[in-house]
Structure 1
Amino acid sequence: MAVEIERKFLVTSDGFKKEASTSYSIQQGFLNSHKERTVRVRLKEDKGYLTIKGKSSNDGLSRFEWEKEITRVEAENLLELCEESIIDKKRYEVKYGSHTFEVDEFYGNNDGLIIAEVELQSKNETFERPNWLGKEVTGDIKYYNSQLSKQPFKNWKE
C-alpha cells in the first residue's frame, strides 16, 4: 500500500519523443470507476496489472494506490469484464532533471490527447519543467483515465 503523489500536465509538442528513454503500449480498462475508488486492469506489453486507487485528495495531488502484477492471460480475461471503452495509449518515459515524466499519447476515442505525469516524494517538491510541458491539469477529473473511458476526448466541446 502506498500514497501516490503526482502532478499532471497537458503536453504542447511532440518534443518529448526524442527525449524518451523508453516507450511501450498500454491497454487498460476499469472493473469499477466509482469516484471513491477505481479498480483498473492494465496490459503493458506482456505483463498484466490489477490496480486499486482510492479517492483523490481535495487538491488532486495524492491518493491511495495498490497494485499487483498478474499474468498476461489474467489481464486479457479481466479486460473482457471491464466497463465499456478500453483505453489505448503509448507511454513514453522521459528523464528530465532528477525526475522521470510519464507521457501518455492516447489513441482511439482519445486520439489527440497527450498528458504528462510526474511522481513526487512530497506535495511541495520542486522539479524542472521541460519546454514541452503545458497547462497543469492536476485534480481535473476529466483527465483521469477512468473518466476518459466514459467521456472520451473526441466528444469534448472546445
Structure 2
Amino acid sequence: MVEIERKFLVSSEVFKQEAQKKTYLVQGFLNSTPERTVRVRISGDQAFLTVKGKSTEDGLSRFEWEKNIKVDEAQDLLKLCEPGIIEKTRFEIPIGNHTYEVDEFYGDNKGLIIAEIELESTTESFEKPNWLGKEVTGETNYYNSQLSKNPYNTWKH
C-alpha cells in the first residue's frame, strides 16, 4: 500500500463554502521518527491506528498501513503518545475527479491550514482551486508528526 499525495498551504477560507463534509480529529503519535510513524487518530465516531513508512525523496509517496480500532482503545492509546497531540477540523471538498482534504489546525498549530490531495500516480494531473496556495509537498515541517514536536506557532513567520 503506497500513499501518493501532494500538500498545499491554503490562501483563503473560501474552501469552507465548498466543503461537503467536516470532521473534528484528534491524533497523537506513538512513534514519530522519519523512518516510520505510528499514529492514533479519532475521527468523529471512528478511530484508526496508522503506520507510515519513510517518504520518497520528493515527498510524494510512502508506505501506509491503517486499521480501524475502537474509539475507547484509541483514547487509551492517546495517553501513551508522545507530547504534542494534534487537534484539527478536516473539510472534504470535491474538485473535479478528486477530493481535497483541508485541515484547519487548533492549539499550538492554530493559523495553519493545509490542503492534501491523494493521487493514483505521481504524474497524475488534477484541478487546482483558487484558494490553493504554495505547494509544500515533501517539506517535512508540515508533516503532522513534525507539527506535534515543532508546532506552527513556534515558527518564525
Give CA-to-partner distance per residue, 1:31-60, whole Å, 9 cap, x none: 000110000000011111000000000000
SS in 2 for 1:117: strand
Counterparts in 2 of 1:106-117, with a 5 A limit?
106-117=105-116
Residue 155 of structure 1 is matched in structure 2 by 154
Residue 142 of structure 1 is matched in structure 2 by 141
Deviation at 1:28, TM superposition (A): 0.2
Counterparts in 2 of 1:6-155, with a 5 A limit?
6-155=5-154
Return the letter of the residue paired with 1:140.
E
Aligned-residue identity in percent: 64
Distance 1:98 1:51 in 2: 26
SS in 2 for 1:146: helix
Query: Number of aligned pairs?
Result: 157
Distance 1:70 1:46 in 2: 11
Instruction: Name stretches of at least 5 consecutive residues in structure 2 with no aligned partner.
Output: none
Distance 2:4 2:47 in 1: 23
Distance 2:150 2:126 in 1: 31
Distance 1:112 1:23 in 2: 18
SS in 1 for 2:141: helix
SS in 2 for 1:42: strand
Return the letter of the residue paired with 1:124.
T
Poorly superposed stretches of 4+, deviation over 4 Å: none
Distance 2:33 2:134 in 1: 26
Pairwise CA RMSD: 0.4
Deviation at 1:85, TM superposition (A): 1.0
SS in 1 for 2:101: strand
Return the letter of the residue paired with 1:103.
V
Deviation at 1:133, TM superposition (A): 0.2
Return the letter of the residue paired with 1:32.
N
